[in-house]
């Protein structure tokens, strides 16, 4: 299981790191496909707690393994966030954006976000289950390509809504401004305070988006059982 945990951490780190440095849907999808193939010898990789949840619900992994994978994913995402924050440094304009964000409605567009995140997570997780957990497709060589194309297709089609489809990328994207302000000595106390208040204000919205992603993953696990009864 050690190799699988290392693969989860390695892939999650690079996906989060690339996203934080401004990677678009195409490079991120290509990276997801490559990392999936890279980590596959140790078992089908997840790089996403929502995918891990679905595999656990379908009995493909034990609870202990699921917690270990999620722990590795969280640590890798945190490491990617810290490194990206150190590389980017504090932007004075960002402080102004944080202050302006305090006056915005954190729940504006919540319904749209809930639908796009939930459906997107369900779609991506169902693809992962079909290519990585089904007896019908066992031994296939296209699983990495399928994951990359699924992420690219959905994120590209809904680019205006900016879906994350992954609780970890949702969290690191929201926390980036705060981490940069805290780590960069050039940021003043007002900038740190503004980022802290903004992150606190966004916390309920982030929780709702992440809940939608996990709900989508659970729905995908149920649908997989319906369309592939031999894999129960």
pLDDT tens, 170-213?
999 999 888 887 887 655 677 778 778 878 888 898 999 999 99
69-92 tens-digit pLDDT = 999 999 999 999 999 988 887 666
CA distances from 176 to 16, 22, 88, 141, 173 (A): 11, 12, 10, 36, 5
3-41 tens-digit pLDDT = 999 999 999 999 999 999 987 889 999 999 999 999 999
pLDDT at 30: 95
Say whether domain 2-231 belongs to CATH 1.10.357.10: no
Q: Number of C-alpha atoms within 13 angstroms, CB side, residue 132? A: 31
More confident residue, 231 or 16: 16
pLDDT at 102: 60
- pTM for the whole structure: 0.92
Domain ranges for the chain:
2-231
114-132 tens-digit pLDDT = 999 999 999 999 999 999 9
pLDDT at 107: 74
87 φ/ψ sector (left φ>0, alpha ψ -120 to 50, else beta): alpha
């Amino acid at each position: 299981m050690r190799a699988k945990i290392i693969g989860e951490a390695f892939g999650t780190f690079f996906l989060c790191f690339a996203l934080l440095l401004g990677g678009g849907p195409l490079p991120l999808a290509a990276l997801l496909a490559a990392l999936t193939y890279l980590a596959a010898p140790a078992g089908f990789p997840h790089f996403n707690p929502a995918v891990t949840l679905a595999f656990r619900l379908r009995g493909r992994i034990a609870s202990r393994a699921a917690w270990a994978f999620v722990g590795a994913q969280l640590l890798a995402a945190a490491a990617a966030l810290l490194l990206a924050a150190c590389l980017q440094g504090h932007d004075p304009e960002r402080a102004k954006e944080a202050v302006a964000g305090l006056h915005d409605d954190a729940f504006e567009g919540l319904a749209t976000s809930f639908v796009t995140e939930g459906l997107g997570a369900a779609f991506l997780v169902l693809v992962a289950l079909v290519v990585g957990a089904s007896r019908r497709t066992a031994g296939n060589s296209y699983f990495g390509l399928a994951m990359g194309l699924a992420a690219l297709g959905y994120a590209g089609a809904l680019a205006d809504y900016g879906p994350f489809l992954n609780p970890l990328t949702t969290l690191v994207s929201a926390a980036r401004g705060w981490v940069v302000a805290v780590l960069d000595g050039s940021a003043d106390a007002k900038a740190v305070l503004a980022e802290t208040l903004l992150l606190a204000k966004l916390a309920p919205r982030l929780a709702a988006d992440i809940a939608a992603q996990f709900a989508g993953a659970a729905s995908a696990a149920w649908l997989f059982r319906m369309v592939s009864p031999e894999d129960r």
